[in-house]
Homo-oligomer: A and B are copies of this chain.
């Protein structure tokens, strides 16, 4: 059985690594001939809306799913006419647009940070005034890992700051609009991941605590330590409500802010998510396997913790650590994606599992302290 994936990066690669033991085969569509999903299956190189590339993707494929949500709507429509597609177009549309996301969350009674849309300089000024400072201006669409964002510090709103923000984001505003979000003084960033099957069965992973720096996820810990049961219950309600409203199929991630005893929904991803990579070793059934089980109509696997009950994942960004030093840390599970080094690029991750939170975190911290690998140490092409 061939599964098609729009996108050929590390998420597609890990989907394939999880699906091959189920007897599945994979074909990815990606604009880059270097896309790393090509290491574990067929790679179709082309634009996401290139009809010939799409045709090649669906040939003998029984289903197409997504590595990321920012694919052209026209491409999704074309796919739907030719093959089973999951998750569905509504979930993708919401996942592509921060305004639709916020509206969906609000309609489900989920608390969200104050926000306002903006499509012009005047609207931007008004929106920043309404939301108040500190706040963040983001693109409505295609925002990814901290790109296309401008922050306004606490204090008075200067015209020059509005000008500067507008200059940076005007092109984005013209393409799809902007959104101004209150900069929430959160205590912690959390995320909740769930798999929902075709039949509507929902399996929720333990809550995750995330640490971002520079807009990029650095570390995830599961289960998120010391979260009151009421907050966990609210997170579960959130992900279940969104999944049910969208009649969602697959793995769904919602990023959350914990502010005192309030849980706010930040954004969702209609796909497997970086904050769920720890599930490969830390869960009975990983997010990757469960996404495939869900979209293919197979029984969901267990989302219970495995490996001792505690997991910490560290992203490897920009450069991998020295190879022998990393592999020499006993109990560290290494995932190198086979990508060439580049500043800010996610090149891999490492996961530690165990029974003791302090020991697991201490070992994970050692990963972060390793020196960067010299060029050629991991010997990747590129």
Q: Given that A21-B17, A39-B20 are contacting pairs, would A299 and B284 also be in contact in the complex, using a CB cutoff of 8 Å?
A: no
**Binary flags per residue of A4-22, CB closer than 8 Å to B gives 1, else 0:** 0000000001000100111
Please tell me which one of the listed residues B21, B323, B330 contacts residue A335 in the complex, with CB atoms under 8 A apart.
B21
A167 at the interface (CB under 8 A from B): no
Query: Are B17 and A39 in contact, with the CB atoms below 8 A?
Result: no
Partner of A39, one of B25, B302, B327, B334: B25
Measured between beta carbons, the chain B residues less than 8 angstroms from A320 are 23
Q: How far is the CA of A380 from the CA of B353 in the complex (A)?
A: 35
Task: Give Cα distance in the complex from A301 to B22, angstroms.
Answer: 26
Nearest CB on B from A162, distance (A)? 46
- CA A334 to CA B320, docked complex, whole Å: 31
- Docked pose: A41 CA to B16 CA in angstroms: 12
Contact present for B334 and A22 (CB under 8 Å): yes
Query: Which residues on the B side are within 8 Å of A298 (C-beta)?
Result: 323-324, 327
Query: Nearest chain B CB to A332's CB is how many angstroms away?
Result: 9
CA gap between A327 and B197 in the complex, in Å: 13
Tell whether, in the assembled complex, residue B299 and residue A324 are in contact, meaning their CB atoms are under 8 Å apart.
yes
Residue-wise, chain A 49-62 has the 8 Å CB interface mask toward B (1 for contact) of 00000000000001
B20-A338 in contact (CB<8A): yes
Main secondary structure of the interface of A (DSSP, over half): loop
Partner of A284, one of B1, B306, B331, B380: B331
Contact A40 B20 (CB under 8 A): yes
Instruction: Give Cα distance in the complex from A348 to B21, angstroms.
Output: 9
Q: Which of A313-368 contact B (CB under 8 A)?
A: 320, 323-324, 327-328, 330-331, 333-338, 348, 353
Find A301's partner among B293, B299, B330 (CB 8 Å cutoff): B330
Chain B residues in 8 Å Cβ range of A213? none
Q: Whole-angstrom distance between the alpha carbons of A334 and B379 in the complex?
A: 32
Bound CA span A380–B1, Å: 6
A330 and B323 alpha carbons, distance in the complex (Å): 36
CB contacts (< 8 Å) of A338 on chain B: these are: 20, 23, 25
CB neighbours (8 Å) of A215 from chain B are none
A250 to chain B minimum Cβ distance, whole angstroms, is 16
List the B side residues contacting A17 at CB < 8 Å.
Answer: 17, 20-21
Q: Which of B21, B299, B330, B336 contacts A21 (CB 8 A)?
A: B336
Q: At the interface, yes or no: A307 with Cβ under 8 Å from chain B?
A: yes
A334 to B285, CA, bound (A): 10
Contact residues in B for A22 (Cβ distance below 8 Å): 327, 334, 336
Please, how many angstroms separate the alpha-carbon atoms of A132 and B256 in the complex? 74
A182 vs chain B, min Cβ distance (A):
39
Q: Are A284 and B23 in contact (CB under 8 A)?
A: no
Query: Which chain B residue has the least Cβ–Cβ distance from A329?
Result: B299
- Cβ proximity bits A92-119 to B, threshold 8 Å, 1 near / 0 not: 0000000000000000000000000000
Q: How near does chain B come to A321, taking the closest CB pair, in angstroms?
A: 12
A13, chain B: closest CB distance, angstroms: 8
A323 — nearest CB in chain B belongs to which residue? B298
Question: Can you name the residue of chain B whose Cβ is closest to the Cβ of A332?
Answer: B301
Evaluate whether A23 and B336 lie within 8 angstroms (CB atoms) in the complex, with A1-B379, A17-B17, A307-B307 already known.
yes
22 contacts between A and B (CB under 8 A): A1-B380, A13-B20, A21-B333, A21-B334, A21-B336, A22-B327, A22-B334, A23-B336, A23-B348, A23-B379, A39-B41, A40-B40, A62-B379, A284-B330, A284-B331, A293-B327, A298-B323, A298-B327, A299-B324, A306-B308, A306-B353, A307-B307
